[in-house]
């Protein structure tokens, strides 16, 4: 079986999370990574799954910087907009897309909930261990 490179593995991971099938990563036949990297990708999946499931733009550093110094009414209005189901889902998908691409993974940190920064950093540490030498 052909092993995928890091970019393709991240894309596959994102697709599995979107389809609610991320448990397929447990089966190496469904997730063609190097044997020694498999545990790292499972840890990355676990972090990304929580970040995705709990994604809330109003808890991101990007949103917090947008509303810094603004009135309470303005913050409430902006929060209400981003809690609408379509906006919330669009944010979750955009965030996962950023997380699952080597070109945008570093941008993702400003879109995740502030409380997930440690989890994001752990995922990045695990990903660094997986990179092709």
User: Mean pLDDT, the chain, as a whole number?
Assistant: 94
Task: Examine the pLDDT at 129 and tell me if it is beyond 50.
Answer: yes
41 belongs to a structural domain: yes
Question: How far are the Cα atoms of 12, 15, 38, 44 from residue 94, in angstroms, in the given order?
Answer: 15, 13, 25, 18
**Token digits for 71?**
């009135």
96 belongs to a structural domain: yes
67 belongs to a structural domain: yes
C-beta of residue 25 within 8 angstroms of C-beta of residue 17: no
Both ends of the chain: CA-CA distance in Å? 20
**Token digits for 52?**
């995705």
* pLDDT at residue number 43: 97
1 belongs to a structural domain: no
Residue 44: half-sphere exposure toward Cβ, Cα within 13 Å: 28
- 10-26 confidence digits (pLDDT tens): 999 999 999 999 999 99
pTM above 0.85, yes or no: yes
Task: Examine the pLDDT at 109 and tell me if it is beyond 50.
Answer: yes
Residue 113: strand pairing partners: 60
Model confidence at 132, pLDDT cuts 50, 70, 90, reads low
* pLDDT at residue number 1: 58
Domain count, the chain: 1
Domain holding 32, by residue range, is 6-130
């Amino acid at each position: 079986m052909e092993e995928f490179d890091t970019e393709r593995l991240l894309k596959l991971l994102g697709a599995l999370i979107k389809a609610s099938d991320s448990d397929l990563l447990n089966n190496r036949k469904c997730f063609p990574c190097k044997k020694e990297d498999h545990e790292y990708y499972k840890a990355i999946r676990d972090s990304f799954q929580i970040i995705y499931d709990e994604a809330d733009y109003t808890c991101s550093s990007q949103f917090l910087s947008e509303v810094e110094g603004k009135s309470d009414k303005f913050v409430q209005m902006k929060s209400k907009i981003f809690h609408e189901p379509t906006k919330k889902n669009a944010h979750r998908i955009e965030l996962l897309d950023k997380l699952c691409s080597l070109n945008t993974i570093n941008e993702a940190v400003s879109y995740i909930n502030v409380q997930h920064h440690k989890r994001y950093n752990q995922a990045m540490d695990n990903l660094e261990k997986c990179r092709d030498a």
